[in-house]
Every structure is written in structure tokens, then in C-alpha cells.
Structure 1
Amino acid sequence: MDFKKIIIIVVIFLIFFLGLLYFLKQDSTANQSKQSLSPEEQMTMERISPLGTGEGFWDEAISPFREDKTKPYLELLDDLKTGKINFVWEVWALRRKCKAEYTPDQCNATILAYIDAEYESPDKEKVKDLFISYFRYEEEYRKWEQPTDLSFVELYEKIKAKRRDVLNDKADLIFGMEESQVSFLEGTQNFIKQSANLPAEQRVKQFEDLKKKTYGTYYDSLVSREDKFDHYQVEMSLRDKEFNAITDPKEKEKYLNRIEIKYFGKERAGSLAEERSKESKFKESISKYELKEKDFLRENANLSAAEKEKKLKELRIQFLGSEEEADAYIRRKNIEEAGK
């Protein structure tokens, strides 16, 4: 055997052997330490720390959190104030990383241990205080007997007051974004009624102004998370009166296309317009077929049922373009009839 290979094997063996000795020594020392305790001392230790001394426990428990980069306190503060993050969602995202068998208190303690391990002072104390305050609020909220005879708006005002009673100025940090959204929903109901007779462009602008004013510093973050289609539908509902007043189909399509380009871009808006055109032509084909069907049945009343169906199927294929579409038409009609 090559001399160099022998040397390498020997070195590897020595490293392995020394490592094994070290491990055995550590294990022996731990056992001796435990055995040196009296039965009374062991019982006391187990009662104080039912999960053990904690040595190694938290390292394992907080490991699922370590994949996320911790935010400095000031950055966390800014993200809360601007709505980039929702504190309650963040707490529950962390909790979902806890083991299923953990109690709520164990999970909360694990989160706090993670903060201890990952943050340096003074950020550590500030971030921990935020989480501890929220945990305390949850506990108080669970104990709180809510009034049952209030409307949602009245009850929510009570909830907001409770938050400030427990959290003081932290209530705005933790719940400010949610409260602005609820406030906007309330404001929207009033706006829809009061703005019914405004010109569409003015109505849309005022609606957006209301949103900006109500959301405040959260506006950019909240709008960035809005579903484009939902936003599009809201604008179309605000324009409903003006849109329905357009009688020329071509002008109506232009109007719709302009709004769709605003939300979905030119390419997607073009695709939507094409789909509508196909749908419109298909409906027109169905109308033509149904007129032809009536004429045929009136003029051929003496034909047998089989002959009628054979001829009608030919007409459906002729008007609707394919046997598949013809069969689909019959299925839809059967479903409609069954639903009556």
C-alpha cells in the first residue's frame, strides 16, 4: 500500500479515536454529576425544571426560527408603522414553527428564547418587550367578558379601548394597521351612499383620497397587497352608473378596455377583450340556433322524435361550430331545465 495512504488512514483513525474518548468522558462526567445529587436534590431539580435543566433544549427548540434574518429593532418599528409587516401575523407565523406538542406558554417561551439568542442589547430588550406585551394582551383578552348586546362598530370600539388599556402606546404599533382597515370599511359604506350622484372620475378620485387619508402611513403597503382584480371590481362598481348609461357596444368596450389596461396592462386587457368578443359571438350563435330550432320544429311537427333530434344536432353543429360545442349546449340546457 502507498505510504501516504497509510499515513492518512492512521491520522483519520486517531482523530476518530480521540473524539470518541472526549465524548465518553463528557458523558461520564455528566452521569457522575447527576449521581452526586441526593434523591431530594434530584426531585427538586426535576420539579423546578420538568423539561430538564434546559441545557441544549432551547438550542433545539429555537432552531426552526433561525432560517429568518432578524430585523433590527428600529427597522421592525418602521415596518410596523408603515404596514410592511403585521405584528399579529408575524407572531402566529412564528408559533406555527413550534412543535405540535408544545403548550401555548412553551411556544411563547421558545419565541422569547429565540429573541434572547439572536438579538444584542438594547434591541433584545425592546423586541422582547413588544412580544411580552402582546402575550399579556392575549391573556387579558381571553379573560375579558365581551358585551353581547352591541353592534360590530360599538364592540370594536370597546376592543380598541381594551387594547390601549393593556398595551398603552404599543396598541398603535401592533393593531394600528388593522384598525385603519376596519375604519376604511366603515367609511366606505358611508362614501358609497353619499357619492352616488358624483361624476365617475370624481367619485373614483375621492374614493382613493378617502383610502389614503384613512390608511395614512399604511397606505403604500396595504395597496401593494391588494388583489388587482378586487381593486378593478371596486372601481367598476364606482363607475357603474356611467358605464350602464353607455348604449353603443363599441363605446362600452372601449370604456371597459381603458379601465382594464389601468389594472392589468395592455396585453392582459387585450386578452380579456378577445375573450369577451368570442363569448359575445358564441351567444349570438346560440340565439340564431334557437330561432332556427323553433322554425324547424314548427315546420316539421310530423317528424319522429329520432328524426327531429338528428336534424337538430346537425343544426347545432352548423351554428355552434363543432360537435363538442353542440353537446355542451345540450348539457347546459339539461342542467338549466333540471334546476327549474
Structure 2
Amino acid sequence: MEKKVILGIVILAILGLGIYIFIDQTSSSKSSSSYQENSEQTGYSITKSDDNLYPLGQGSNIWDEALSPFQGEDKKSYLEIVSDLKSGKINFVWEVWALRSNCPKDYTPSQCDGTILAYIEANYESPDREKIKDLYLSYFKYESDIRQMQTPEGISFEDRYELIKDKRRKMLGDEKSELIFGMEEAQVNFMEGAQNFIQSSKNMRPDERVKKYEELRKKTYGSYYDNVMNREDKFNHYETEILLRENELKGLSAEEKEKKLNTLEIKYFGKEKAALISKARSDQQKEEKILADLSKQEAELLNKYPNMSDKERDSKIQELRVKALGSEEAEAYTRRLKFEKETEGNL
């Protein structure tokens, strides 16, 4: 169970980047062929649901949080763009796809990418024009070539990602690879580091464990830390701290645990939202207790009167449910149990 929770948390850290989708695509020549047919026959129709056109998958952040350097009248210089890439304020790949989303649907990939280059040509002067164009042209070529890359069957995620990184540096060089993929690679490094830390720090004092985890995050993300943290879901951070404090929470009474959870929820969500979360948890606990008591009453009834007819049994059980839940909720509860029973063998 703990292993599943750990895996879920570290994967969430890179979900927006869609790295697993990317790797699956790069390992398949069939995907590459499908992409080329799409490009030439149906044009460059960019939609959020078209996986074949997303080399890094289609994480929800790609479209909503792209901070295009081409927005507004005050265009960013090459040095400003580089600074934003190095700080994680801009994710280059998100930028490319955000810009492509504005292309007419009947454009081919080369036509769509050509509009980006034409914009740079028309709106920038030397030497920024050539430097910015070179960055985009280098990425376009990388994107085309990486679709042809095949990796061995059954290779681990870590080994496959190392092959991807090696391919990037051979094609783009260290400097461009860092600008374009530096933030993504930092997040993958943190994914691996976080998993190792959670496994190896089980006996650490809770406060120290949380502190060391945050130090690891800051060290791994480096210059990307602030912008990555601003983009990540606070609920993911809250769940991570819950995991890090798992042993502490297990040793608390119900009242102490509720107080600790409320403190953490105020830390991540503020007092108002923390109060709503606390109420929702309290309501859920009450409902669970009611249903547990009801289940116990039904079992006692069946044990006490084992020879009841089916009709009489169903009637008496429904009486218990109505008394515990009310008429409407009892009907809904009965329908839910019936559905679960009917579908149990099909799941």
C-alpha cells in the first residue's frame, strides 16, 4: 500500500509534462508513421485530445499556464527568454504547443511552424532574431528526429530516460538541452530522489523528515524551484506531508489526529478552506459510522431470524435502513448495494 502511495506522489510531480506518454511514443515506429500521415494528409489540426501531436503528452498545464514571450507589445529579448527558461517561468515545449494552437486547422506542421519563424523574423532584430530562431529551429528538428527513435523492449523508465537525455545532448548540445528540457529533467531527478528518500527515511523524526524532504526538493530543482512550486497543486504537497508524517499520525488519538490534520490544512489551504475540509471529513466519518452500525444491525437481524422468507427479510432490512438513513437515502443505499452485487463478478 505504501509503495503505491509513494509512486502516486512522485508521478504527480511530473504529470503535467506527460513524460510517460512521450517515452511510449518515442519507442514506437508506428506512432511516428501515424504522425507523418496525419501531418501530410489531414493537416496540422491541434486539439487537446490528439495524443499523436504531443511529444510530451497533453498535461493540463501545457495550455493554461504557457507564458508566451510573444504576448503583449513589450516582447521579451533573447536574454529575457533565456532567463525565464532558466528559472522555469517559461517551459519551452509548452510554449511551442501554445503557439501552435493558434494555427489554422488546415495547416501542415511545416506551415504552422513556419508561422512561428515568420513572426520572429518580422518582429525581432539581429542578433536576437537569429538566436531565437535557432532555438526554435533546433527544437523542431529534435522533435522530428526523436519520433524516429526506438528503445529496447522492456527497458526500465530510468534507463530509457537516460537514452532520451543522451539523444538530446547529441542533437542539441548541452546548452540548448538545458534551456529546453532543464526543468523537465530536474523534475524527473526529483521523482527518483523523492522515492529513494521516502523509502530510506522511514525512521526519521517527522519534523526532520519534512524538513529534509523540502531541502531535497530545493536542491534538486535549483533555479526552477520557485516557479515549479507555484505551478504545482497544493493538495499534492499536503498529501506528501501526510505521507511523510504517516508514522506520527498512526500514534495519535482520533482527537489529536484531527487537530494535526487541521493544522496542516490551514498551512496549505488557509483557515476557510481548512474548515470546509474538516467538516467534510467529519461528515464522512459520521456517515461511515452510521453505515457500519447499520451493517451490524442487519447481520444481527439475519442471525436472529434465519428462517425468514426472502420477502419478510427484505422488508425488515429496509425498515432498518429507513430508520438509519431516511426514506430517500435508504432507497439510494439499497440500489447502490444491488448494483455493486450485480457488477461484482464483471470487474
TM-score (norm 2): 0.71
Give me the CA root mean square deviation.
2.5
Cα deviation, 1:115-151, whole Å, max 9, x if unaligned, reads 1122233322221121122223234434555455743
Pick aligned residue for 1:141 from 146, 170, 174: 146
CA distance, structure 2, for counterparts of residue 104 and residue 252 of structure 1: 55
Alignment partner, residue 331 of structure 1 = 335
Alignment partner, residue 18 of structure 1 = none
Residue segments in structure 1 that go unaligned for 5+ positions in a row: 1-64
Cα deviation, 1:147-172, whole Å, max 9, x if unaligned, reads 55743322322322222222221111
Look up the SS of the partner of 2:102 in the other structure: coil
Q: CA deviation at 1:101?
A: 2.7
CA distance, structure 2, for counterparts of residue 177 and residue 292 of structure 1: 57
- Structure 1 residues 196 and 121, CA gap change in structure 2 (3 angstroms): same
- Structure 1 residues 211 and 293, CA gap change in structure 2 (3 angstroms): same
Larger Rg: 1
- Is 1:100 the counterpart of 2:105? The answer is yes
Q: CA deviation at 1:325?
A: 1.4
Alignment partner, residue 53 of structure 2 = none
- Is 1:89 the counterpart of 2:127? The answer is no
Alignment partner, residue 160 of structure 1 = 165
Stretch deviating more after TM superposition (153-162 or 207-216): 153-162
Larger RCO (CA within 8 A; separation ≥ 6): 2
Look up the SS of the partner of 2:266 in the other structure: helix
Alignment partner, residue 191 of structure 1 = 197
- Structure 1 residues 161 and 310, CA gap change in structure 2 (3 angstroms): closer
Structure 2 counterparts to residues 197-212 of structure 1, below 5 A: 197-212=203-218
Aligned residues, how many? 274
Cα deviation, 1:209-259, whole Å, max 9, x if unaligned, reads 11110000000111111112222111111111221222x211111121111
- Structure 1 residues 126 and 335, CA gap change in structure 2 (3 angstroms): same
Alignment partner, residue 256 of structure 2 = 251
Look up the SS of the partner of 1:99 in the other structure: coil
Alignment partner, residue 5 of structure 1 = none
Look up the SS of the partner of 1:198 in the other structure: coil
Q: CA deviation at 1:114?
A: 0.9
Instruction: Give aligned-pair identity as a percent.
Output: 51
Structure 2 counterparts to residues 174-323 of structure 1, below 5 A: 174-246=180-252, 248-298=253-303, 305-320=310-325, 322-323=326-327
Pick aligned residue for 2:179 from 173, 176, 179: 173
CA distance, structure 2, for counterparts of residue 285 and residue 240 of structure 1: 27
CA distance, structure 2, for counterparts of residue 138 and residue 150 of structure 1: 22
CA distance, structure 2, for counterparts of residue 204 and residue 328 of structure 1: 43
Alignment partner, residue 45 of structure 1 = none
CA distance, structure 2, for counterparts of residue 106 and residue 277 of structure 1: 57
TM-score (norm 1): 0.73
Pick aligned residue for 2:76 from 71, 77, 86: 71
